[in-house]
Amino acid sequence: GLPAALEQVIFQIGITAFLILVAYYGTEAYAAYGIGVQILSFSFVIGFGFSIAGATLVGQHLGAQNKDQAKRAGWGAMRLSIISMTFFGVLITVFAEPLARYMIDNDEVVRLTVIFIWLLGSMQPLMAIEFSLGGALRGAGDTKTPLAITLTCLLFIRVFLAVIFFLLDARIEIIFSTLVADYIVKGFLYVARFRSDRWMNAIKSKEAG
């Protein structure tokens, strides 16, 4: 639907804006970001799988008018996603330096990559919440909430803070740390929305509209 499409547009705009800021710090910083994301992508793939599973199970249970089971499925997907992504996040963080050095033989890029992996690796439990509950909400037809959360956190927290720190001549490590603020707020908002139960009536609201 339109909200899901807009969410992807906003995501691409936000990521592009963030990468432009990172690029101002030089090729080492830009390479470190790319390598860090590539290494952590093993964990992201798992999260994406739980996003699909959460969407499917929640959608099926709501279609069968079983709201309690839909809610349990969403929380269950979240718990399993947190366990799985945290495990791989810890594993990757522990071996961050050898993994980074395997990808590139540049001391500064390796140093920045390790810092990036430590920061984003520590956010794997919160990223797991975004993947799983985001999928659950979409499966329930509540596509506006992920759109609003992406808009708020990616543009108005991550990119906005990164711009402020950039203007203050902050180091690239501080720019990377804006990811932490982004995912902390995202995790809180997704849990709050799913706990509210209002998402259960999203499909009916669409039909009524």
Q: 164-207 pLDDT, tens per residue?
A: 999 999 999 999 999 999 999 999 999 999 999 889 887 655 54
- Residue 140: per-residue pLDDT: 94
Q: 82-91 pLDDT, tens per residue?
A: 999 999 999 9
Q: Per the domain annotation, does 121 fall within a domain? A: yes
Give 65-69 contacts, CB < 8 A, sequence gap 24+.
67/197, 67/200
Cα distances from 87 to residues 40, 84, 90, 107, 176, in angstroms, run 12, 5, 5, 27, 22
- Residue 3: per-residue pLDDT: 80
Give the total number of structural domains in the chain. 1
Return mean pLDDT, the chain.
94
Q: Per the domain annotation, does 209 fall within a domain? A: no
Q: Per the domain annotation, does 138 fall within a domain? A: yes
Q: What would the mean pLDDT of 99-116 be, rounded to a whole number?
A: 97
Cα distances from 84 to residues 46, 53, 77, 171, 201, in angstroms, run 7, 14, 11, 32, 30
Q: What would the mean pLDDT of 115-131 be, rounded to a whole number?
A: 97
Percent of the chain with pLDDT over 90: 89
Q: Per the domain annotation, does 180 fall within a domain? A: yes
How far is it, in rounded angstroms, from Cα 182 to Cα 185?
A: 6
Residue 7 pLDDT level (bands cut at 50, 70, 90): confident
Domain that includes residue 142, residue range? 2-204
Highest mean pLDDT among 3-12, 41-50, 199-208: 41-50
pTM of the prediction? 0.92
How far is it, in rounded angstroms, from Cα 130 to Cα 183?
A: 8
